[in-house]
Amino acid sequence: MTFWKNQPVPQTRNELEETNGLIREAVNISKNPCKLPVGMYWVSLDLTNETTLNEIYILLKNNYVADANETVRFDYSKDFLKWALSSPNLTLICGIKQFGNSNLISIITGTQEITKCKDVHVKVLAINFLCVHKNFRLHGITPLMIQEITRQANLHNILVATYTSGTFLPTPICTTKYWHRTLNSKNLLDFDFIPKLNLQELIKKMKLPSKVSTNGWRSIQITDSKQVCELLNKSKYKLQRIFETQDIEYLFKNIPKVISSYVVENNGIITDFGSFYQVSLHNLNKQNIISISYCYYYAHTTISLETLIQNLLIESNNQKCDVFNCLDIMDNVSFFENLKFDIGTGNLNYYLYNYGLGKCNPNDVGVIFL
């Protein structure tokens, strides 16, 4: 925690409540990368290069988010990584290698976004991946990665960052909890994702309609982007992502096994929108994999949120996903009981770097990380 004591973040709960707006201006920004331990060097990473993409994939697959016992680990596909890290907005990707070894040993990525903090639109760098190879975690690399991406962001006049972590750092603006909705009961039982229950009873309880019945429900098209953008930006959360039309065109374009987006159209007007993205989870002991769909951004005006999410559950199930996950942010709590969600064991902390917003409740949060 020594590193964080010198960073522009609130150190205590009281300080969190008392801090408002930008904490520190950027001064004397170095033009040179941060100094690394002997034998290591910075690398620029080009995702259009298949070899580079594979290096990132292997690093994350073997060293990124896992449970405490290192028995399950996320597996982000190459297509997912290309989607997540190739935004039309500025994306910074910092990597470290070791002389004499061509393999990546760490990476940190961030994408420029506009985030509304109360009523102020702030240009931020949204951090989505920070990963250090498990053999190098005692080398003090993580603070250097954060310093370097901060330096690069500052050079682009981005002074604020948003990020999440399951780890407690100084100081969360909000702590959220995961909820899960079973789709494929057998696969989840085999994976040990859910408690041992009677399979047939669980299948019966979790059964969904085979298709969506909402009139006007269809996959998104690029011509819907402007209307979807307007819908999403009407939300009124304390911490909220603000979209531009190009964000909609890129982020929500359907990619099989990566991102799925849907709208409700009535007489040429887009009235409702919903989306989810997909990630695999690998059980290292059993060597089996489940597919997880995560609730992404949504907006609704003519159908209830419960109906919208049920439609996404049906679409996820038809795409052979095993479970549908979401956090208790936005308005999600309203549909958990009726749609048979179960509370998970994992927490996710939300953080702001170099900006004071005060404490948020989960339903104040309208920003989703990958």
Task: Give dist(CA 88, CA 112) in Å, integer.
Answer: 9
Q: What is the pLDDT of residues 341-350, one digit of tens each?
A: 999 998 999 9
Residue 10 corresponds to which tokens in the numbers above?
Answer: 């609130």
Q: Of 108, 132, 163, which residue is a domain's last?
A: 163
Looking at the structure, tell me whether residues 73 and 39 fall in a common domain.
yes
- The residue segments making up the domain with residue 194 are 175-351+358-366
- Pair (221, 286) in one structural domain: yes
Asked, for residue 228, whether it belongs to a domain, the answer is yes
What's the pLDDT tens digit per position in 234-291? 999 999 999 999 999 999 999 999 999 999 999 999 999 999 999 999 998 888 999 9
Q: Are residues 110 and 185 in the same domain?
A: no
pLDDT exceeds 70 at position 367:
yes
CATH of the domain at 304: 3.40.630.170
Considering the domain architecture, whether residues 204 and 322 belong to the same structural domain is answered as yes
Query: Do 86 and 370 contact (CB within 8 A), yes or no?
Result: no
**CA 288/CA 155 separation, integer angstroms:** 44
SS3 111: strand
**pLDDT given for residue 66 in this prediction:** 72
Query: Can you tell me whether residue 147 is helix, strand or coil?
Result: helix
pLDDT (0 to 100) of residue 102 = 86
Of the listed 16, 85, 130, 239, which one is catalytic?
Answer: 130
Overall number of domains in the chain? 2
* Mean pLDDT score across all residues of the chain: 96
Q: Are residues 208 and 187 part of one domain? A: yes
Q: Is residue 283 annotated as part of the catalytic site, yes or no?
A: no
Q: pLDDT tens across 294-324, in order?
A: 999 999 999 999 999 999 999 999 999 999 9
- Please say which residue of 141, 163, 185 terminates a domain: 163
- 333 in a domain, yes or no? yes
- Rounded distance between C-alpha atoms, residue 145 and residue 151, angstroms: 10
Both 156 and 182 in one domain: the answer is: no
Angle (nearest 5°) at CA 9 between 113 and 330: 50
For tokens 């040179």, the residue is 32
Residue 242 in any domain: the answer is yes
- Residue 116 in any domain: the answer is yes
Q: Report if residue 170 sits inside a domain.
A: no
Exposure string of 253-284, with b = 16+ CB inside 10 Å and e = fewer, is beeebbbbbbbbbeeeebbbbbbbbbbbbbbe
Residues 13 and 62 in one domain: yes
Nearest residue to 88 (alpha-carbon basis) of 111, 64, 54, 122: 111
The reply to whether 110 falls in a domain is yes
Which pLDDT band holds residue 178 (cuts at 50, 70, 90)?
very high
User: Is pLDDT at 68 greater than 70 in this prediction?
Assistant: no
- 324 and 186 in one domain? yes
Task: Report the percent of the chain where pLDDT is more than 70.
Answer: 99
What pLDDT, on the 0 to 100 scale, is given for residue 240?
Answer: 98
**List 19, 111, 129, 352, catalytic entry:** 129
Catalytically annotated residue among 104, 281, 305, 370? 370
Instruction: Note if 164 is an active site residue.
Output: yes
70 pLDDT higher than 80: no
- Residue 59: left (phi > 0), alpha (psi -120 to 50), or beta? alpha
pLDDT, position 179: 98
What three-state secondary structure class fits 354? coil
Token code pair at residue 269: 């007007």
Residues 134 and 181 in one domain: no
Residue 30 lies in a domain: yes
Q: What is the pLDDT of residues 196-240, one digit of tens each?
A: 889 999 999 999 999 999 999 999 999 999 999 999 999 999 999
CATH number of the domain residue 42 falls in: 3.40.630.30
pTM of the complete model: 0.96
From the candidates 128, 233, 271, 349, give the one annotated as an active-site residue: 128
What pLDDT, on a 0 to 100 scale, did the predictor assign at position 71? Answer: 86
- Please give the structure tokens belonging to residue 87: 């935004």
Catalytic residue among 109, 154, 164, 354: 164
Q: Which tens digits make up the pLDDT trace of 107-154?
A: 999 999 999 999 999 999 999 999 999 999 999 999 999 999 999 999
Q: Helix-strand-coil percent breakdown of the chain, rounded to 5?
A: 30, 35, 35
Q: What is the mean pLDDT of residues 323-342?
A: 98
How buried is 104 (Cβ within 10 angstroms: 0-12 exposed, 13-18 middle, 19+ buried)?
buried
Which of 130, 163, 196 is the last residue in one of the domains?
Answer: 163
**Tell me, what's the pLDDT at 67?**
72
Q: Is 168 domain-assigned?
A: no
Residues 268 and 337 in one domain: yes
Q: Tell me, what's the pLDDT at 69?
A: 72
Q: Are 117 and 35 within one domain?
A: yes
162 as an active site residue: the answer is: no
Pairwise CA distance, residues 23 & 355, whole Å: 5
- 129 counts as catalytic: yes
Do residue 149 and residue 179 come from a single domain?
no
Average pLDDT, integer, range 72-79: 95
What span, in angstroms and rounded, lies between the C-alpha atoms of 19 and 356? Answer: 5
